[in-house]
Amino acid sequence: MTKLRKQRRKKKFNHNVNRKRLRNKIFKEGNIGCKEVKLEYDRKKSLKTNLQEMGLAYDPNQSIKIPHSKSEMKKIMSTNNDWVEDSTEEPITLSKAHVAKSLEDDAKAPREKKFRLPNSQIEWVTYLIEKYGNDYKAMERDKKNYNQETWKQIRQKIKRFMNIPEQYSEFLKKSNIHLEVDNNVSDDEI
């Protein structure tokens, strides 16, 4: 009797489900973020064949195989007994190989560094520079050094701040202080 009850339950119409939207959601192929792949993607073919034609890997475990001890033993056995396993792999045709080449070139292209320090750290570093200049030992003993950073850590933060031209040039415009950080500073000099 329970089987009939389950079948009846499946036949009930659910009024709060939009069937059209549900069907579209199930059959939706998804958005392709990469413009090179999006231009060459053929909707009539499967994802796997599309990627193979472009020279891209669908399954990284299949494309870059990790040798196992069992497979190594098969190779040894095949060389001794002249037994060769039949390979059923199809030859891959790369009709859209330019896609992989353009992705590779894009990955190798130099990127613009967009590293910036947070505003709280900039305020703290500029406060130390304006108050103490090059005296890192005095910066270490400052009352605002809440994290109890050493003079070398403070010097490193100041160097990092000076290597970001956008933020450092803005600081130089606001104040007339020009600071040069020595890389070869010893404990005795400070």
Give the whole-angstrom CA distance, residue 150 versus residue 56: 50
Residues 31-46: tens digit of each pLDDT: 888 888 988 888 888 8
Q: Please give the pLDDT value at position 7.
A: 76
Mean of all residue pLDDT scores within the chain: 81
Give the whole-angstrom CA distance, residue 181 versus residue 125: 13
158 within 8 A of 179, measured Cβ to Cβ? yes
Residues 123-169: tens digit of each pLDDT: 999 999 999 988 999 999 999 899 899 999 999 999 999 998 888 88
Residue 96 binned pLDDT confidence (cut-offs 50, 70, 90): confident
State how far the alpha carbon of 32 is from the alpha carbons of 12, 45, 60, 115, 136, in Å.
37, 15, 19, 28, 52
Give the whole-angstrom CA distance, residue 19 versus residue 15: 9
One-letter amino acid for residue 126 of the chain: T
103 within 8 A of 36, measured Cβ to Cβ? yes
Residue 109 clears pLDDT 70, i.e. is over it: yes
Tokens of 98: 């330019």
Among 89, 122, 104, 96, residue whose Cα is nearest residue 42: 96
Q: How many residues does the chain have?
A: 190
Among 170, 134, 169, residue whose Cα is nearest residue 155: 134
124 within 8 A of 144, measured Cβ to Cβ? yes
60 within 8 A of 21, measured Cβ to Cβ? no
